[in-house]
Structure 1
């Protein structure tokens, strides 16, 4: 039953006023309600909530001052919470009520707390990521390969909001690109000579894969780490690699030898060419000289053919016999030719002279012994002549 309904014996005014014995004063004063509230708060915290108006007015002033000071402190704390320091290598991504607002440069920045949130993102440091695993090659061999990716953040906004986890997405893209390249390459090329080709193809495929996703990442470098076969066949592959290294070593040594010997061979070729050219010129000049000589002999031959023919024969024989120690004597009117062994005679005389010089009895040699030796040589010569005559 409402307090002001008829017949209510407990007719009490909720504002503390009773209609009996007094008149209705209307709604209470707001200042009085405020003072009562402050008084009750002071009592709750152990203060004195006096009932006189002077004390109430003083308490009200002190409470107002405290509230102002508290508000100022809260304001200062709120302002301090909005300060943020962005390092030189970072960029600050500002979120206003959880939505992207702007990107701020390095330095001391202030954003309203609980309204804006700053996320620092490092855009200069290079981060390394490794993707590895057992992969199947084109020739159906299993090889363990590893690829080291070095990247940095290029666009902070795209890095934070394009995908859920850009680092994980990059790792998956690297693994997919590497498996595709390895799957189209022979194992020998992966282990030895084709490593650079695999690296370049993997980087090109990786760039093409992450471009549509707009990860905000720039791939700086791609390093293809040493590949290895499974442990079960490692020894056999080590032997194969050693053989290939030996082959490369021998090829390099052969190329070095070729580079060393080639200048000498070229010099020898040039020398032979020059000698052949000189020989050619000499033969030509000699032929031209012979032609000139025969042209000069032609008038003489035409004037006296027999005399010229005889002279040419004699000159030719002189040139022939000048280089031999054997003498052939032609007897005019006879059919035999005598042979005079002057080389043997001269050799025997030289031997005799050496024997006389080295013999301890050479002091007893007399002209008579020399004469006897000359007589014996003469007899040998006559004997040889008679034999030649009989023949």
Structure 2
């Protein structure tokens, strides 16, 4: 909106500031953070009123301490993130940039799927929610539409990290691959969201990393210097990722232990889908698996646990996802969260290193 006004005034005088992605990205962080902080108290009070004493259903087979400390905490706090993220993006984005619109489409689409799941859990006071098959079907439909549009602009080549402008021509298979990345990452963040602040800060770290990647990939001079595939217009996604960071930090203010609100599937699915979409637009899908390695590990732990128990009757971990395993080993919740944050930072740095190691 403000970018459109700056265009109207032909970027003259102070309006010239709004030409720059870096300035608008910084403004997007502040705007989203301010919105989340301002709406937080009333929004949480509204959630408490609507959800009563039920709040987020707690798994009976989970750590015993959760039944005492987390019962009654309202969920669907992801709506706060979506409101702040969307409003901030709309204020600072370039309306003519289709990549930003497709990221918003996936984010809000996955948020709607998560909302249906959360609503079902709260009303039935069960942690099962909407059928997994139904949810995955809708997720792949939304992601498939997005990837089809993206591929029509960026092509169907899967670019490989560490190799200069080298990739695999996947053709139509790229649509399925991209949809798998988006839907898979949405669910990976969802599985990680089990402790206060555990998923939020790694999302912030990954969003910051991909904001940098998007800016570099979208700049012809930088992409040529680094030897990465140039995607014209993708730099504008730095504004979107910046709004994501601000919204998450604002939410974390209320989600810090002891959490006053949980993001629920509404937030976790949306944030994971957003990161996956940015990765597909920038042709850095494989790098996402490294940067978001914490989410991948959490997902793998669940898969390994299920496969092992069904085939041998034995469990590899004391409990899955992985963060609950460490809780059962005696780690406090804050210890697990902070150490996982550290892992996320290291993985993000490794992901950024792939830009130069070619």
TM-score (norm 2): 0.20
More helix by share: 2
TM-score (norm 1): 0.18
Larger radius of gyration: 1
Q: Which has the higher contact order (CA 8 A, sep 6+)?
A: 2
